[in-house]
Structure 1
């Protein structure tokens, strides 16, 4: 009976953190399908050997640590650039030039919100090494590519803040849209290289719909979504964005997500 209760407790602990593991896996691999494959492998490893889930750590750190061991044991593989066409091929070519382990450290720290010490635990390195990996990632990604960014955000103060962060990375803000129709109009006039969109807009229109409208007209381009309720979107029941920032956000989260999305040109969007 105690074993059954232990398994139930473990399921609850993992279930709470699983949406965030899937978000991290998607951002790391650049695709929902590939990311979910690693997430499933992580769960299977824990089921096969529950001791892999270290109870002395916080549940989120313990889960991500198992994932990292799976990821690293597979060699953190990426497809060969020559085998891919278009935007994905260019993304993989850029990935090949990154310093090893830097992107993992940056995502863990800036997007998932782990402290440096937790990143070190997850990756099996010292805190100093983790901090160095994060710094290198920021430098390499921020310098790698610059482009035009459309901000879709109905709250004026947040729109200004996000625009300032985006411009500090060397990108040009092509416009700020408060509604779905406004976003589509601005994108048509000045096509962006990246879209940064809130989910709920001023006239109760959908940032998701706005993005899908724009992509249907202009074609593939990277997208970063922002929402106060990420768990409502990370359900696995429909296509999900690789880059999803939670409100309230930090400057680090925006900088990391924008740099990652621009660098890897992730284009997965939510279904309407």
Structure 2
């Protein structure tokens, strides 16, 4: 297969990524063209030994990061993308690769040609910078104390505040109405045998709020028979993925934060 045929299926998604980085269609598309021109000049820019999608995004990242003026295009963005300009360059790429393009942390680390530990710091930095722009009060609906503590540490590290840790459906609903959080993290199976899904549905009847499900049983939510959650993480969870998904849920939310009680 020719290099052109290998890259072609990736181009629609690469343009999406480039536009998000540049903040506008024209700027993003121009950098994709710059990558293609660079590949014509030097095909070795494309690493044929790795997955074609990773290799395509890696080639683009090499071109993007080599062009030091690339980030100037992001100065006049409209919400929510104007906030991307406030995220430092490499963390911004790490965030978009995982939160928008769907790469796993390991795959995104390969795209950016950095070690997994270094990539983890990039994701953490992006989440912290996003948290500084869109801080939220978080409710963690989780009946396992150690897991709840881990999640609280991750959420706090992103600049958010955990306001409660209910362990049952009724506790979750009562606490949500009293505290009006801006983010909910929810498990499926709760302490008294009640359902985290039912708790979330009860909460969403009263006000709109981004919800991230973190569960050992994702198949119970991915049935195809009813509306499925936008943000879903399987246990045991990867910390980088939790950070990326929380940041995504808050960064791209369309509604306003719940008003104070």
Please say whether Structure 1 and Structure 2 have the same fold, judged by a TM-score greater than 0.5: yes
Q: Deviations over 1:178-201 (max 9, x none)?
A: 111110000111110101101111
- Asked if residue 143 in structure 1 is aligned to residue 143 in structure 2, the reply is no
- Asked if residue 183 in structure 1 is aligned to residue 172 in structure 2, the reply is yes
Q: Given the superposition, is the C-alpha separation of residues 200 and 91 from structure 1 closer, same or farther in structure 2, using an over 3 Å criterion?
A: farther
Tell me how large the CA RMSD over aligned residues is. Answer: 4.0
**Bigger relative contact order (CA 8 A; separation at least 6):** 1
In structure 1, what is the equivalent of residue 230 of structure 2? 242
Tell me the CA shift for residue 104 of structure 1.
2.7
In structure 2, what is the equivalent of residue 86 of structure 1? none
Tell me the CA shift for residue 147 of structure 1.
1.6
Mapping of residues 167-178 of structure 1, within 5 Å: 167-178=156-167
Counterpart of 1:252 (choices 225, 234, 240) is 240
Tell me the CA shift for residue 119 of structure 1.
2.3
In structure 1, what is the equivalent of residue 99 of structure 2? 107
Residue segments in structure 1 that go unaligned for 5+ positions in a row: 1-24, 30-54, 73-80, 83-89, 268-272
CA distance in 2, matches of 1:102, 1:112: 10
CA distance in 1, matches of 2:122, 2:153: 25
Tell me the CA shift for residue 112 of structure 1.
5.7
Residue segments in structure 2 that go unaligned for 5+ positions in a row: 1-15, 21-47, 62-76, 256-261
CA distance in 2, matches of 1:161, 1:120: 23
1:95–1:264 CA contact under 8 A, matched in 2: no
Q: Given the superposition, is the C-alpha separation of residues 184 and 168 from structure 1 closer, same or farther in structure 2, using an over 3 Å criterion?
A: same
Q: Deviations over 1:141-179 (max 9, x none)?
A: 233221200110011221122112212222121111111
Number of aligned positions between the proteins = 191
> Alignment partner of 2:198: what SS?
helix
> Alignment partner of 1:186: what SS?
helix
In structure 1, what is the equivalent of residue 210 of structure 2? 222
Which 4+ residue blocks in structure 1 deviate beyond 4 angstroms?
A: 62-69, 95-100, 130-136
In structure 2, what is the equivalent of residue 44 of structure 1? none
Larger Rg: 2
Mapping of residues 1-272 of structure 1, within 5 Å: 62=51, 65=54, 90-94=79-83, 101-107=93-99, 113-115=104-106, 118-119=107-108, 123=111, 126-127=113-114, 131=119, 134=123, 137-217=126-206, 219-265=207-253
CA distance in 1, matches of 2:95, 2:176: 30
1:167–1:173 CA contact under 8 A, matched in 2: yes
Q: Given the superposition, is the C-alpha separation of residues 63 and 186 from structure 1 closer, same or farther in structure 2, using an over 3 Å criterion?
A: farther
1:105–1:133 CA contact under 8 A, matched in 2: no
